[in-house]
Chains A and B, each alone.
Chain A
Amino acid sequence: MKSSVIIFPGSNCDRDMDVALKKFGFKNQMIWHNDQSIPKSDLIVLPGGFSYGDYLRCGSIASKSKIIRSVIDFANSGGLVLGICNGFQILTESGLLTGILQQNKYLNFICKNVYVKVKDKKNKYFNNIKKDILELHIAHNEGNYFCSRDEIKSLEDNNQIAVTYCDQKGLENDENNPNGALKNIAGIFNKNKNVLGMMPHPERMIDKYLSGEDGSLFFENLLGNLK
């Protein structure tokens, strides 16, 4: 299975993502943002980090880079596009996903483990994962998801909400919402559910000696679907 991780100036989770994809059996290649096209892939990943320093708005400058055109074409033709953290921000800024990620409600960068509830399993990212609640890791300053009333209704109506912040038992409330995101949203899909953006980093959760292992379930499932 072929995957491509796109490196923007300022990306810094590109290597982590490469390690994770390879660990679970992807043939991964690293693509420089200035490249005109992306080699044939089954999955394109926009990794975390601070593309262009997160200057102006997170993800806004990367969303104007040359390569984004190819990502959009790939997504429109049904290819799987995954954006993690800064990648999620780039996806909203480029219009592939609805809404925007604002600064965290409590104004601080947050780095910690969180629980998320899987809200939809009719998609290639979560379909065969047995657990409903995953322990993942966040590290961001702008993860406070926001969109208009109409947009949120449409996200809900089409089951486009992918994961929401919750506690160990699945309770979604303000206390378990680390950044003030609307409806505790941690990740969303596009209409066709081939594009997923989420703030938590599954690639940081693939080793029990590190932060934990629930990220492994995510990658194993993804690979299973592409085989």
Chain B
Amino acid sequence: MKVTESVAIDHGLKKEEFTKICELLKRTPNITELGIFSAMWNEHCSYKSSRKHLKKLHTKGKQVIQGPGENAGVIDIGDDDAIVFKIESHNHPSFIEPYQGAATGVGGIMRDIFTMGARPIANLNSIHFGSPQHKKTKNLLRGVVKGIGGYGNCIGVPTIAGQTNFDESYNGNILVNAMTLGLVNKNKIFYSKAAGTNKPVIYVGSKTGRDGIHGASMASATFDDKIEEKKPTVQVGDPFTEKLLLEACLELMADNSIISIQDMGAAGLTSSSIEMASKGKLGIELDLSKVPCREEKMTPYEIMLSESQERMLIVLEKGKENYAKKIFDKWNLDFAVIGKTTNSKKIELLFENNKVAEIPIDLLAENSPMYDRKWKKTKLPQKIKFNKDDLKTINLSDCLKKILAFPNISDKKWIWDQYDHTVMGDTIQKPGGDAGVVRIHGSKKAVASSVDSSASYCFAHPFSGGKQVVCESWRNLISVGAKPIAITNCLNFGNPEKEKNMGEFVECVEGIAEASKYLDFPVVSGNVSFYNETNDRGIKPTPTIGGVGLISDYKKIITMDFKKNGNIVYVIGKTEGHLDQSVFAKDFLNEKKGAPPSINLFNEKNVGETLLKLIDLGLVASCHDVSLGGILVAVSKMCIKGNKGIKINPLKGLINKFEYFFGEDQGRYIIEVNKSNIKKVSEILNNNSIHYDEFGTVDEKMLSFKNDIKLPIEELSNVHKYWLRNYMDS
């Protein structure tokens, strides 16, 4: 096939980019080479729109062993143990084929983790769907949940937490972000950087088929009504083979045979081989006739761009081939020596004894385009004036019941019951708490993890929203008694070629950077997903943050269920009553305007660290951060979980009860304290100048507030627990 500008454009390259390729190469690329350029230069692999801004992220810290740039980030958790973790998007494929799209998303992120030598120990997922009324939502949700479960359950890694959100901005672009944590000995971490020339390059795992050719370009394109035509690019996952691959790789890694290893993810053999060579400042030569193929007559172009799943590329020490082959034979996986490292600094491809491609590596990696796209700042919206007289007519009980059954507030048990969350025998905190917690096998330590996003806040004011998500993640970890260590981020945005979307991206990143720096909560890995747009309608900006924290003694973890009648309940952190962008304002009053709550990083840090101290001293019986819905929703969840009630004290001062109960001011937690500890707790809070309200007393199975609310917990529980199940069954 003759390569022309129009062929290049069909490959998703811009006219100028094609001209630049020809200039750099000093000739026109052949079709295989063009395919390679298009894969490496698209947004998904080159980060051409985001690179400039991602540099602003705070990525260093005492416990950071590996920051962004590798397959995943690595943090030190003491005693030679390290945690490898990352989050990744699989949005586009999941919209087209929810089961396989979500399943292969989970498979892909797990490979990123075990590529580094870590055994996966926990999965999380953040999933966003369109409005529940939208005709596609139910099937997409069902398919995605089955896909996530289907893959993770089969591998035998527990799914310990997640987040599920509905908003009409996702009607045409759902989000499926999958996160995995792995455990590794910090002296036995494997990297993708190749070293040494003339070392054998090994292909292992499944055979290569014509799957998902140009999947990486699809991930960088917007949808339109002709989406059906893009269908063949979806891949089918084979979790069984991945499980074998996991065990085989870990078995091989016990020895010192591997120089570098890289999974074949987006853009398959192309990006994996080029990244290894590029990082090692080497060349690589591959004989594509040796690649195990599933189908007949596959061309070099197809072999290089295939996105068949469950495959790995390894640079091995010379002479270890037979040793390695035995291991892969035992696990019944393909194994082939397909090439070698060279000092040419080029990628050279052979096929049936002909040279079919030759490209200097730096043209593909370092010299790939980088754009400084135009972007627009979002002004802080004006404050909404709520009519207090109108509020007075609202019945508090009815309002609370309604909010507890809102799609975004309701219980997500229907989802996580379908995820194996107990396999591996170390799950201390199952889904349903503020963060999932798994024990480090055979030790006293445990790690906590949570995924969070707040698209509405980010949409209203991206900079505040970016800061807020980081803080929410920090709070969720603290709420279970974990010391926050580091985060990973999945940045889901619309079309970066539009100034508004690009502005949302830039400001969210800046917000994330500021909060994570202040809190010493560095970003160690992440992923960007642009072009979440259908027919010109983009999603709300949705940065997802996955946080990881450490618990030194798992027996000290805190859960959110109220424990004992007579215990005192405090709200710690100050409540101003910020209703703009709250669930109450947006979904109950239908007032969508206004600014998100502001973040005070000093308070955030002070409150969080002090609370950790209280927990460590054993003074806290239960704890929950105040997030969506405000105080009353948070307290109701604690009641429902503990099957206990609460008698709420009359409010002090002049604050309006709706503002107090439903405001979404940040930096707050609810804690339950045994009467005998009250003095100590208030002393510590006072000494740290932390504002707190004595909110109420744990009571027998009734939530009550003066004459305004008298609700049996069973009634609250019923509205909260069954919205999702009823919706899925209807």
Cβ of A16 and Cβ of B423 under 8 Å apart?
A: yes
B502 to chain A, nearest CB (A): 41
Q: CB of B343 within 8 A of chain A? A: no
Residues of A within 8 A of B439 (CB): 209
Q: CB of B554 within 8 A of chain A? A: yes
Q: CB of B419 within 8 A of chain A? A: yes
Q: CB of B711 within 8 A of chain A? A: no
Q: Which residue of B lies closest to A50 (CB)?
A: B154
Residues of B within 8 A of A55 (CB): 240
Cβ of B417 and Cβ of A111 under 8 Å apart?
A: yes
Binds A, one of B193-201, B424-432, B455-463, B689-697: B424-432
Cβ of B154 and Cβ of A53 under 8 Å apart?
A: yes
A-B contact pairs, 20 of them (CB 8 A): A9-B240, A9-B243, A12-B155, A15-B425, A16-B423, A50-B153, A50-B240, A53-B238, A54-B154, A109-B420, A111-B416, A111-B419, A111-B422, A112-B417, A139-B422, A139-B423, A204-B425, A207-B425, A210-B426, A210-B427
Q: Which residue of A lies closest to B158 (CB)?
A: A111
Cβ of A53 and Cβ of B155 under 8 Å apart?
A: no
Pick the contact of A110 from B239, B244, B418, B554 — CB < 8 Å?
Answer: B418
Q: How far is the CA of A137 from the CA of B420 in the complex (A)?
A: 11
Q: How far is the CA of A48 from the CA of B424 in the complex (A)?
A: 11
Given A210-B427, A210-B428, is A137 in contact with B422 using a C-beta cutoff of 8 Å?
Answer: yes
Given A203-B425, A211-B422, is A13 in contact with B156 using a C-beta cutoff of 8 Å?
Answer: yes
Cβ of B417 and Cβ of A209 under 8 Å apart?
A: no
What are the interface flags for A5-32 relative to B under an 8 Å C-beta threshold, 1 for contact and 0 otherwise? 0000110110110011000000000000
Residues of A within 8 A of B424 (CB): 15-16
B176 to chain A, nearest CB (A): 18
Q: CB of B55 within 8 A of chain A? A: no
Interface residues of B (CB under 8 A from A): 146, 149-150, 153-156, 238-241, 243-244, 330-332, 416-428, 439, 554-555
B341 to chain A, nearest CB (A): 32
Q: How far is the CA of A201 from the CA of B420 in the complex (A)?
A: 12
Interface residues of A (CB under 8 A from B): 9-10, 12-13, 15-16, 19-20, 34, 48-50, 52-55, 108-112, 137, 139, 141, 201, 203-204, 207, 209-211
Q: How far is the CA of A203 from the CA of B425 in the complex (A)?
A: 8
Query: In the complex, given contacts A12-B155, A53-B239, what are 13 additional A-B residue pairs having Cβ atoms less than 8 angstroms apart?
Result: A9-B240, A10-B244, A53-B238, A53-B241, A54-B154, A108-B418, A109-B146, A110-B417, A204-B422, A209-B428, A209-B439, A210-B428, A211-B427
Q: How far is the CA of A204 from the CA of B426 in the complex (A)?
A: 9
A112 to chain B, nearest CB (A): 6
Q: How far is the CA of A27 from the CA of B423 in the complex (A)?
A: 22
Residues of B within 8 A of A54 (CB): 154
Pick the contact of B418 from A111, A137, A211 — CB < 8 Å?
Answer: A111
Cβ of A16 and Cβ of B425 under 8 Å apart?
A: yes
B185 to chain A, nearest CB (A): 17
Residue among A12, A16, A19, A141 having the largest count of chain B Cβ atoms under 10 Å: A12
A51 to chain B, nearest CB (A): 9
Cβ of A50 and Cβ of B243 under 8 Å apart?
A: yes
Q: Which residue of B lies closest to A178 (CB)?
A: B417
Residue among B420, B421, B422 having the largest count of chain A Cβ atoms under 10 Å: B422
Cβ of A209 and Cβ of B418 under 8 Å apart?
A: no
Q: How far is the CA of A20 from the CA of B418 in the complex (A)?
A: 24
Residues of B within 8 A of A34 (CB): 330
Residues of B within 8 A of A16 (CB): 423-425
Q: How far is the CA of A99 from the CA of B566 in the complex (A)?
A: 53
Residues of A within 8 A of B422 (CB): 111, 137, 139, 201, 204, 210-211
Q: Which residue of B lies closest to A111 (CB)?
A: B420
Residues of A within 8 A of B239 (CB): 50, 53
B340 to chain A, nearest CB (A): 31
A7 to chain B, nearest CB (A): 9
Cβ of A139 and Cβ of B420 under 8 Å apart?
A: yes
Residue among B150, B425, B426 having the largest count of chain A Cβ atoms under 10 Å: B425
Residue among B416, B417, B420 having the largest count of chain A Cβ atoms under 10 Å: B420
Q: How far is the CA of A16 from the CA of B114 in the complex (A)?
A: 20
Cβ of B425 and Cβ of A209 under 8 Å apart?
A: no
Residues of A within 8 A of B241 (CB): 53
A198 to chain B, nearest CB (A): 16
Q: How far is the CA of A190 from the CA of B439 in the complex (A)?
A: 37
Q: Which residue of A lies closest to B238 (CB)?
A: A53
Cβ of B153 and Cβ of A139 under 8 Å apart?
A: yes
Residues of B within 8 A of A211 (CB): 422, 427
A62 to chain B, nearest CB (A): 12
Residues of B within 8 A of A108 (CB): 146, 417-418
- Pick the 10 closest A-B CB pairs, nearest first: A12-B156, A53-B240, A16-B425, A50-B154, A139-B420, A109-B418, A111-B420, A108-B418, A204-B422, A109-B149
Q: How far is the CA of A111 from the CA of B555 in the complex (A)?
A: 23
B272 to chain A, nearest CB (A): 25
Residues of B within 8 A of A141 (CB): 153
Q: How far is the CA of A110 from the CA of B427 in the complex (A)?
A: 16
Q: How far is the CA of A91 from the CA of B419 in the complex (A)?
A: 25
Q: How far is the CA of A217 from the CA of B617 in the complex (A)?
A: 34
Pick the contact of B154 from A10, A13, A19, A204 — CB < 8 Å?
Answer: A10
Q: Which residue of A lies closest to B431 (CB)?
A: A111
B67 to chain A, nearest CB (A): 31
Q: How far is the CA of A109 from the CA of B103 in the complex (A)?
A: 15
Q: How far is the CA of A111 from the CA of B417 in the complex (A)?
A: 5
Q: How far is the CA of A13 from the CA of B155 in the complex (A)?
A: 10
Q: How far is the CA of A211 from the CA of B419 in the complex (A)?
A: 15
A159 to chain B, nearest CB (A): 31
Q: How far is the CA of A108 from the CA of B149 in the complex (A)?
A: 10
Q: How far is the CA of A207 from the CA of B424 in the complex (A)?
A: 13
Q: How far is the CA of A110 from the CA of B146 in the complex (A)?
A: 11
B561 to chain A, nearest CB (A): 15
Cβ of A52 and Cβ of B240 under 8 Å apart?
A: yes
B267 to chain A, nearest CB (A): 27
Q: How far is the CA of A10 from the CA of B247 in the complex (A)?
A: 10
Cβ of A10 and Cβ of B418 under 8 Å apart?
A: no
B367 to chain A, nearest CB (A): 43
B164 to chain A, nearest CB (A): 16
Residues of B within 8 A of A204 (CB): 422-423, 425
Residue among A10, A15, A111, A137 having the largest count of chain B Cβ atoms under 10 Å: A111
Q: Which residue of A lies closest to B150 (CB)?
A: A109
Residues of B within 8 A of A9 (CB): 240, 243-244, 331-332
Q: How far is the CA of A50 from the CA of B149 in the complex (A)?
A: 13
Residues of B within 8 A of A209 (CB): 428, 439, 554-555
Q: How far is the CA of A141 from the CA of B152 in the complex (A)?
A: 13
Q: Which residue of B lies closest to A207 (CB)?
A: B425
Cβ of A49 and Cβ of B156 under 8 Å apart?
A: yes
Q: Which residue of B lies closest to A106 (CB)?
A: B729
Q: How far is the CA of A12 from the CA of B421 in the complex (A)?
A: 13
B19 to chain A, nearest CB (A): 48
Pick the contact of A12 from B332, B423, B427 — CB < 8 Å?
Answer: B423
Residues of B within 8 A of A53 (CB): 154, 238-241
A185 to chain B, nearest CB (A): 21
A18 to chain B, nearest CB (A): 10
Residues of B within 8 A of A49 (CB): 156
Q: Which residue of A lies closest to B419 (CB)?
A: A111
Q: How far is the CA of A207 from the CA of B555 in the complex (A)?
A: 11
B167 to chain A, nearest CB (A): 25
B436 to chain A, nearest CB (A): 13
Q: How far is the CA of A110 from the CA of B555 in the complex (A)?
A: 27
A78 to chain B, nearest CB (A): 30
B237 to chain A, nearest CB (A): 11
Residues of A within 8 A of B240 (CB): 9-10, 50, 52-53, 55
B627 to chain A, nearest CB (A): 25
Residues of A within 8 A of B421 (CB): 111
Q: How far is the CA of A15 from the CA of B243 in the complex (A)?
A: 14
Residues of A within 8 A of B427 (CB): 210-211
